Structure 1
Amino acid sequence: MPNLLSYLLLPLSWLYAAVMAGRNWLYEQGWKPQTAFPEVPVLNVGNLRVGGTGKTPHVTWLVQWLRQQGQRPALLSRGYGRRTRGYRLTSPTDTAATVGDEPLQQFQQFAGQVPVALCEDRVAGIRQLLQEVPDLTAVVLDDAYQHRRVQPACNILLTEQQRPFYQDWVLPAGRLRESRRGARRADVIIVTKCPLQLPAAEQQQITRRIRRYARPDVPVLFSGYAYGAPVAVPGTAASVQPGPEVVLLTGIAQPGPLVEYLAEAGYRIRHHARFADHHAFSPADLQALAAQLQPGQCVLTTQKDAARLMEPHLAASVRNLPVFYIPIEVRFLADGAARLAEQLTAYFPPHVVV
């Protein structure tokens, strides 16, 4: 529920929303140029809200689906949190500091078989990608919904079931980057982090509220997470599978679903070291974490956090820590995966799709 501070900040939110609405109008009227790429379909996964809607696992699902169809996709991200600038194609020698934690996670997820590029200017980034990787058949943009200079073939908008955009306000009173009307640019809307048994009646109610802002023909799909068995983080002392008592380490926007899953799976979290999203872990952080560990306990974390724990300057700090990450996989409710696949197939010529 909105608090008093949110109400006091509403005038600033209206001003920010007006600026963003004016910017969007300039693009829609052609006063600001947009660049389309007829060479390959550009598929954008983004949101209206700041952080935590599940972009990374949904991007992973999308890339996996494309590869299963015989496509040769590449990923393009801004590379939030990296200490480098400009265009960069991820290589095995890169770290979270050079490319950002999420791009590094994606590069490792696909064992380097999917090009993962970084560029603040997505137009320049796509052009460079097409030059360096000429056999591409698709480009997936990670978090570029407000990057209007690119005209994507498909805009996939994510919104959390527990924090839907239609109940939020624009910054600074709320967490929206632009007004709810931005949903009209979406070609697909996915309600994320849902219970896998979310009742159909509740899905219908959410869909009706979304359609107040989206185009009437846009598919509204629902997804949740399936969690896998703990995976040992390379370079740590993880060996034997975790016991029931654990210490949790997170540097993500919304650790709540993971905490709930661990409780349901029978883990007892004795300490939760919670940091801000994309937090750059320090040796001091890990020293404090080690002090919380009791004999027989281990550290559980997320795959994104694990990418940052493998920074070279942390090697000595994690060497003796038993650290595992919990992998997650997107699962669509009902026929959502089939409906999304049908929507995506339309962007690829029949002779290309295997």
Structure 2
Amino acid sequence: MKILRYILFPIMPFYYLATWLRNKLFDLGIKKSKSYSTPVICVGNLSVGGTGKTPMIEHLITILKNEYKVATLSRGYKRKSKGFQLGDKNASAETIGDEPFQFYNKFKEDILVAVDADRQNGIEQLMNLPNSPNVILLDDAYQHRKVKAGFNILLTTYDNPYFKDYVLPTGNLREPISGANRAHIIVVTKCPSYLPEIDKNMFLERINPDKNQHVFFSSITYANTLISAEKTIELEALKTFSLVTGIANPRPLTDFLESKNLKFEHLNFNDHHNFTPVDIAELSKKELIVTTEKDFMRLKDYEVLKSKLFYLPISITVDRASKFSSLIKAYVEA
């Protein structure tokens, strides 16, 4: 894969120019963005791959849901339905996508969960509902410039920050680094649980935020209890198990499990993997399966897996948490 990326290096300047020009046309107003009276918060990244958008959306829901009617709007990647869909009791990973289904499964009636590849149409549909939301969270929409979000949260990982990367196809960036200028908040995600101030200062120096931008650092917190459709068990009670992941970067999870001295085999699938009948047949032979919450949403309805399938909940911890929350609430209130 790396060799192929080096071979494609001559294409990189053309991709850079095309994405830079597209952004410039939006910045100059030649290509039109639509603003909304309802507060719209966009969570996204410059790079492809997992930067922690799903736990960040859930963190924002937790901050806002007790005071506001919150809606999430996602593309609904790899769902089998078309157009605008609203999560309800009949929703599944197939109808609204695994991550939106995770939002619905976790927060139920506390929020609205919608999917639409056309973000403008999705927002308009939400605003026309009888119980329309007070705030809309756009999931993975940083490059969807046809919608002008009132507040942009840009995520970048500690291990692979955008300022060390290159645009596609040689690197992983969807657009040039200058795209970070649109962010109101930049969050360095998946940091070690303890991050020395010297490391934070290095990131701040490289990010070089302007006076209106705020930089935060977040880390993943793993639960010590596994959850299934039927029961819970303590993680440390496990002897051996099969870890099944279909996410962009399972490394933090495997590192955590190894730090607990747990013995497991790792069945690593591609991000948003659609499990086939052959996959399910193989998984049914496993004695106990531990997976991510996102993968659990796609696997939990298979009867042959129900008694052996568990997921490990995660959450994020943001440094200067009160400051982060106050910035989010101040935007919504304004």
Q: Displacement of 1:95 after TM fit?
A: 1.1
Q: Displacement of 1:13 after TM fit?
A: 1.6
Give the counterpart of 1:218 among 195, 213, 222: 213
Give the counterpart of 1:64 among 49, 62, 65: 62
Give the counterpart of 2:314 among 328, 332, 354: 328
CA distance in 2, matches of 1:121, 1:108: 23
- Map 1:11-26 → 2, pairs under 5 A: 11-26=10-25
Contact kept? 1:76, 1:141, Cα under 8 Å: yes
CA distance in 2, matches of 1:160, 1:82: 27
- CA deviations 1:205-261 (Å, max 9, x no partner) are 0111111xx5343111000011113333227xx665451322100000000000111
- Map 1:47-62 → 2, pairs under 5 A: 47-62=45-60
Stretches of structure 2 lacking an aligned partner (at least 5 in a row): none
Q: Displacement of 1:133 after TM fit?
A: 4.4
The aligned residue for residue 322 of structure 2 is 338
- CA deviations 1:89-135 (Å, max 9, x no partner) are 11111111111000000001102321000111111110110111444
The aligned residue for residue 136 of structure 1 is 133
Matched residues, number: 332
- CA deviations 1:302-329 (Å, max 9, x no partner) are 0000000034xxx23314x511100001
| SS in structure 1 of the partner of residue 36 of structure 2 | coil
> Is the deviation greater in 216-225 or in 178-187?
216-225
| Mapped pair 1:310 → 2:297 | no
Contact kept? 1:244, 1:266, Cα under 8 Å: no
Identity, % of aligned positions: 37
Contact kept? 2:74, 2:139, Cα under 8 Å: yes
Contact kept? 2:87, 2:101, Cα under 8 Å: yes
CA distance in 2, matches of 1:5, 1:309: 34
- CA deviations 1:119-176 (Å, max 9, x no partner) are 1111111011011144421000000000001111100000000011111111111111
Q: Displacement of 1:10 after TM fit?
A: 2.1
CA distance in 2, matches of 1:309, 1:112: 23
CA RMSD in angstroms comes to 1.8
The one-letter code sitting in structure 2 at the alignment partner of 1:66 is: L
Task: Tell me the TM-score normalised to structure 1 length.
Answer: 0.89
The aligned residue for residue 231 of structure 1 is 226
CA distance in 2, matches of 1:52, 1:283: 26
Q: Displacement of 1:196 after TM fit?
A: 1.4
Contact kept? 2:112, 2:133, Cα under 8 Å: no
Contact kept? 2:46, 2:173, Cα under 8 Å: yes
Change (3 A) 1:276 1:221: same
| SS in structure 1 of the partner of residue 221 of structure 2 | strand
CA distance in 1, matches of 2:164, 2:108: 39
The aligned residue for residue 100 of structure 1 is 97
| Mapped pair 1:268 → 2:263 | yes
Task: Tell me the TM-score normalised to structure 2 length.
Answer: 0.94
CA distance in 1, matches of 2:27, 2:221: 39
Give the counterpart of 2:276 among 268, 282, 289: 282
Change (3 A) 1:283 1:233: farther
Contact kept? 1:74, 1:115, Cα under 8 Å: yes
Q: Displacement of 1:188 after TM fit?
A: 0.3
Contact kept? 2:218, 2:316, Cα under 8 Å: yes
The aligned residue for residue 41 of structure 2 is 43
| SS in structure 1 of the partner of residue 331 of structure 2 | coil
The one-letter code sitting in structure 2 at the alignment partner of 1:59 is: I
